[in-house]
Structure 1
Amino acid sequence: MTELNTFDYELPPELIATQPTQQRDQSRMLVVDRQANTIIHSSISKLPLYLNSDDCLVLNDTRVLSARIFGVRKSTGGKWEGLYLGSDESGQWKLMSKTRGKLISGETIDLVPAHPRQEQKQISLQMQSKDAEGYWTAAVQSDEDHHTILEHFGTMPLPPYMRRELATDIDWERYQTVYANQPGAVAAPTAGLHFTPDLLNECMQKGIQIAKVTLHVGIGTFKPILVQTLDQHKMHSEWCELSEESAVLLNETRQKGGRIVSVGTTSVRTLETVAQQGSLNAWRGETDIFIYPPYQFQAVDCLLTNFHLPKSTLLVLVSAFAGTELIREAYEKAVEEQYRFFSYGDAMLIL
């Protein structure tokens, strides 16, 4: 039985990165070698030096939606704020909702653009029902597809610790990976934010293969753990896909004795979900996999990741991969050396 408090640590608030570095590949990188039991300081620009020519990097190519939306309650004129979490086959939206006073089923929300827009649009949401966890289903009073509506009305859904009301021009560029091309996430797969086209090219010139997976980062990734024993935590499901092309690349890598290097915890969860079906074949569907110690990894050999929030599912996964004690020591060293933490923070490479 694994206790949540095992994954707590003290973080000075000034180490939380609220802004990105000037350049994507300027971040520091803590290198944790599990076999040698060593922790050394490096930088993300030196990543190719730690990889072998027969390795394969696995990138999550999801694209962050403008999922944070604002509106006015038609009945009261009160302000309303929501986070789009997805839509079902009938086109109804699933939302997190925030407003003063009690929202009632059947209420109408008139959407208001988060940023100034030249084109005027009038689109409303009719709030249908609230589930046991407090998420709302809403009918959209429009024939436009949800991506177009969100692009017009929404803003980038930045984590609250970044402490700003709306995404800036810098956020629009930097809270998105350079290879993001599958819209559907409500948070960025942050380990990928460090990569520039040049860094990716440097890896490929060394012979390192690049495989893409898609996991649309949703509430499951960042929802806090509210139970004290981890086996009682239930993850929300998120949609993911491993293509035929990527599956072939990964199997070839293993056959040649190369390592599968997962960029980010979302890539890990995709690969481990697929591996549970028996082998790394093309697969798509919903995953609610929650990886916590002890866990036997089947599809990942190395992991590039950021520094995660205390008591989060992400920190628990990283601890399962590298060992709780080694990760505790690595985090202590990172705090000591004033690494930058969380989404816009520095990286950790676990070999």
Structure 2
Amino acid sequence: MKTSDFYYELPQELIAQDPLEDRSSSRLLHLDRRTGEISHGTFQDILTYLKPGDCLVINDTKVIPARLFGRKEDTGAVIELLLLKRRENDVWETLVKPGKKAKVGTKLIFGDGILCGEILDVVEEGNRLIQFQYEGIFEEILDQLGEMPLPPYITHKLKDKNRYQTVYAKHEGSAAAPTAGLHFTPELLQRVKEMGVKIAHVTLHVGLGTFRPVKVEDVAEHHMHSEFYVVEQEQAALVNETKRNGGRVICVGTTSCRTLESATDEEGKLQAGSGWTEIFIYPGYQFKIMDGLITNFHLPESTLLMLVSAFAGKEKIMAAYKEAVRERYRFFSFGDAMFIV
């Protein structure tokens, strides 16, 4: 299977640059994965597709303001950092721009010195390990100095940091938002619960590996970066009980899907625990537990487009995307949604 099989034409103006005023007023494309039938509505119509006894699985990770701008201590040259993974002792794996000049031993200063760093090492993909020094609480300093790490295709500045968070974001650690969840409001979630749908939460801290372009032509040769996930005992029990009772497990976003598929055993039972996952789902994959998926529209030739193609079939997905372009849907992180079941 070739990466180029997952290419589609997307007019630039369909890439959503700003979130909608009302989260739940985005459009919703419903795809029946058995028949390929497509229907159109708004996100609030999700209530008509859900059934009592279903279980929605949400990812409660919280995006940290992971983009930092600073300068090199010796030359004063401007440098940009993206925090990717927290290691031990205030060491972070980071993406540095410009990367070529970010040599081991370089000292960095942020916010007039309230945060300092030193490059310790170069890791895979050219990322850098940086050790930080500061007084006080790192998260508070980050909140003061950092910016939300919006994807490169969003060129507008975000007016409100919270619009790149889900309303249920809780555990800090992501470099990108689980964007399918951005469509939910507290009121809509309440209505979901009132109709007899359970809501289970898992945590997967989204790294940039999810969004890295696939650079190999043979899909099977692509390697995913690892991401940390947590499934609590109580939440695993909720999902397993849904399956036992004949309800559907519906993942909100590809990150919830990847967490469940990583933590489910071969008998189809979700196991509580935590760990790192490098799961790469592409056509041919046999799903162990997921019955439905709420997701946004993904980049051409991306691992996320491959995942939804694995679930619904490549032909049906590519046809749905073609229809979405024709119907002028908004694409990517701040764009419209799709419900595949």
TM-score class, shorter: over 0.9
Q: What's 1:98 paired with?
A: 97
Q: What's 2:279 paired with?
A: 289
Q: What's 2:32 paired with?
A: 33
SS of aligned partner of 1:141? strand
Answer whether contact 2:114 2:135 (CA < 8 A) is retained. no
Give the direction of change, closer, same or farther, for the CA distance of 1:145–1:83 in structure 2 (3 Å limit): same
Q: What's 1:275 paired with?
A: 264
> Number of residues paired by the alignment?
340
What is the correspondence of 1:1-351 to structure 2 with a 5 Å cutoff? 2-99=1-98, 102-112=101-111, 122-142=114-134, 144-164=136-156, 166-169=157-160, 172-276=161-265, 279-351=269-341
Answer whether contact 1:264 1:305 (CA < 8 A) is retained. yes
Structure 1: 5+ residue stretches without partners: 113-119
SS of aligned partner of 1:161? coil
- How far apart, in 2, do the equivalents of 1:127 and 1:276 lie? 40
Q: Which moved more, 1:143-152 or 1:86-95?
A: 143-152
TM-score, reference length from structure 2: 0.97
Answer whether contact 2:266 2:288 (CA < 8 A) is retained. no
Q: How far is the alpha carbon of 1:143 from its aligned partner?
A: 5.0
The residue identity in structure 1 corresponding to 2:312 is A
Q: How far is the alpha carbon of 1:219 from its aligned partner?
A: 1.7
Answer whether contact 1:79 1:100 (CA < 8 A) is retained. no
Q: How far is the alpha carbon of 1:35 from its aligned partner?
A: 2.2
SS of aligned partner of 1:133? helix
Answer whether contact 1:189 1:266 (CA < 8 A) is retained. yes
Answer whether contact 1:78 1:99 (CA < 8 A) is retained. no
Identity of aligned pairs, percent? Answer: 47
SS of aligned partner of 1:341? coil
Q: What's 1:117 paired with?
A: none
Q: How far is the alpha carbon of 1:149 from its aligned partner?
A: 2.8
Q: How far is the alpha carbon of 1:40 from its aligned partner?
A: 0.7
SS of aligned partner of 2:169? coil
Q: How far is the alpha carbon of 1:36 from its aligned partner?
A: 3.0
Answer whether contact 1:155 1:167 (CA < 8 A) is retained. no
The residue identity in structure 2 corresponding to 1:134 is G
Structure 2: 5+ residue stretches without partners: none
Give the direction of change, closer, same or farther, for the CA distance of 1:227–1:100 in structure 2 (3 Å limit): closer
Answer whether contact 2:66 2:142 (CA < 8 A) is retained. yes
TM-score, reference length from structure 1: 0.94
The residue identity in structure 1 corresponding to 2:17 is T
Give the direction of change, closer, same or farther, for the CA distance of 1:35–1:132 in structure 2 (3 Å limit): closer
